[in-house]
A and B are shown apart, each in its own frame.
Chain A
């Protein structure tokens, strides 16, 4: 149980284009989903927290207009990187928590974004 999927697993795009990454909880309803970014040999850095039907809460230093997050249902959240630049190249990972009774976050397999 507690399986989270991400799509795509990797993507290459040209500078200036937008990329959408999907995060789905497959066997549970996720009241809260989180988006992280991980650079090589670095730890996971939280970008934003999203609750179903609400606006996402972004961490300090994360551009809201660049990283658009939509949490339209209890099983799906999307992250859109708008006008991507090479410095946006990174490993993006989502996580989901089943509900208020559990603090455990279950992570997706990650999406490798390369902007050329």
Chain B
């Protein structure tokens, strides 16, 4: 059974204080690992797809990396508008996405 575990559950940062979110996974035949951002009362917003170990992708202050067992979402010099819940999901042999519970990030000004 595919599983995703995200840590920490919640993270508070000061504006400009860089940090990383972790996503550990077990999956049978990884098709892709996905990162989404979800604001309260909204649907998830797509951020990145990673397909193979060693792959990295960047978007503004975010950088996602992937190994065979985990993925990191690095946030460099975060701003208050980066506050959200960040969701990690894996897609294995089927088209189904299996989500972690997310990391709630709060960036204080």
Contacts and interface: CB of A to CB of B under 8 A. Distances in A.
A46 interface: yes
Interface residues of A, number: 24
Given A43-B102, A44-B87, A110-B42, A49 B49 contact: no
A103 B87 CA distance: 16
B74 interface: no
Nearest to A91: B41
Interface in B36-69: 36, 41-46, 49
Contacts of A106: 46
A97 interface: yes
A42 interface: yes
B108 to A, nearest CB: 21
Contacts of B31: 103
Taking residues whose C-beta sits less than 8 angstroms from the other chain, chain B's interface range is: 20 to 34
Contacts of A105: 34, 46, 97
Interface string A33-45: 0100000001111
9 contacts: A43-B100, A44-B97, A44-B99, A49-B96, A103-B32, A103-B49, A103-B91, A105-B97, A107-B44
Interface of A: 2, 4, 6, 32, 34, 42-46, 49, 91, 93, 95, 97, 103-110, 112
